[in-house]
């Protein structure tokens, strides 16, 4: 098992508080697990996240990916001294999802002093890869 990368692991109460009133709350994104070097969360496949064809909108996948990677980046740094902001995000949408939920897992590829790069893999309920995303974060001194 990997050594934990987190500066401070948040409590479930803290995770609930920081998502209140955000796009994550509006879309129904839930953080389901924080492992030693990853964050996992879900996004429902429903009317909040669908495009007109009845499948998860690519933008909703990107919101899930950026939410997980951004949370991860901010949990790696000392938040009294630094804050992390998204610089670039990309996504390859590989398979449509029209029911259930998707689960994203974010892991760092690079944790530098001024930038982080995170990879986020999103799977459907059958564990099929539906989207892969990469997120670059700026680490900024407060």
Helix (H) or strand (E) holding 64: helix 58-76
Catalytic residue among 25, 30, 66, 88: 66
Give the C-alpha separation, 6 to 136, whole Å: 18
Q: What are phi and psi of 118, to 5 degrees?
A: -120, 145
Tokens for 99, please give them.
Answer: 């029911």
Give the C-alpha separation, 130 to 123, whole Å: 5
Give the C-alpha separation, 86 to 140, whole Å: 11
Q: Is 66 considered catalytic here?
A: yes
Which residues are designated catalytic?
66
């Amino acid at each position: 098992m990997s050594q934990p990368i987190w500066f401070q692991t948040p409590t479930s109460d803290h995770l609930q508080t920081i998502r209140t009133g955000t796009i994550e709350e509006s879309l129904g994104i839930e953080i389901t697990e924080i492992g030693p070097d990853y964050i996992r969360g879900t996004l429902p496949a429903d009317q909040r996240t669908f495009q007109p064809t009845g499948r998860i909108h690519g933008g909703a996948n990107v919101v899930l990916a950026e939410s997980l990677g951004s949370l991860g980046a901010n949990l790696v740094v000392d938040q009294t001294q630094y804050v992390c902001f998204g610089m670039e995000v990309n996504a390859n949408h590989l398979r449509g999802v029209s029911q259930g939920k998707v689960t994203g897992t974010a892991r760092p590829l690079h944790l530098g002093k001024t930038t982080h790069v995170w990879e986020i893999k999103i799977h459907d309920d059958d564990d099929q890869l539906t989207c892969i995303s990469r997120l670059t974060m700026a680490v900024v001194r407060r």
